[in-house]
Amino acid sequence: MLNLILFGPPGSGKGTQAQKLAEKYELLHISTGDLFRHELGNNTPLGQEARKYMDQGKLVPDEITIGMLRNKIEAHPQVKGYIFDGFPRTIPQAEALDKLLAERGQSITALIAIDVPDEEIIQRILLRGKESGRSDDQDEKIIRQRIATYREQTLPVYNYYEEQNKAHTINGLGLIEEISQRLFQVIDELSPY
């Protein structure tokens, strides 16, 4: 199986590229944002638990998020692999994901980071904010804080997988198709597809 983590700061293009990779390699695109929307929207037991924390302004505990991931994976046993978008964000989440996959006799094939300079990210998110109307995408101070949080809390996940010789970085500047081709090249070198 081909199990990928698409990695990068907010605005690096993970969602767009994850969809292209899912199509090309017949992978299940798992976005934590989509998972939460599904579980909350369907008022599932995990969604109800998550809502308790969210309503208090607290982070949802990892075990709830991992439970949502487990449900998604178990609901799609026929896929050729997974592409994780927006997860894991911390070392404990990476360890939990590795454990979840190991229970199924699988592992992460690669983490691929999309490298984009901060100033480019800020411009992309501000543009996205104008189109989407999301207030958090229209405030440069909030965007800079999100980038700082990513560097502080999430970047160690790259090092975690680098120690396993599974971390790769591609240039995230250019046209969407150019970036896709860079991703395809890394994956094709790793995978028997």
CATH of 2-184 given 1.10.3470.10, 3.40.50.300, 3.40.190.80, 3.30.420.40: 3.40.50.300
Q: What end-to-end distance do the CA atoms of the chain give, in Å?
A: 10
pLDDT (tens digit per residue) in 14-27: 999 999 999 999 99
pLDDT at res. 109: 96
Ordered by start, the domain boundaries in the chain are 2-184
pLDDT at res. 193: 53
Instruction: Name the residue type at position 122.
Output: I
Residues facing 132 on adjacent strands: none
Model confidence band, residue 160 (pLDDT cutoffs 50, 70, 90): very high
Dist. CA 76–CA 97, nearest whole Å: 16
Percent of the chain at pLDDT exceeding 90: 75
In this prediction, residues 31-41 reach a mean pLDDT of 89
Q: Kindly report the number of other CB atoms within 10 A of residue 45's CB atom.
A: 10
Alpha helices in the chain (DSSP H): 14-25, 32-41, 45-55, 62-74, 91-103, 118-132, 140-149, 155-162, 176-190
pLDDT (tens digit per residue) in 96-148: 999 999 999 999 999 999 999 999 999 999 999 898 887 888 889 989 998 99
pLDDT at res. 192: 60
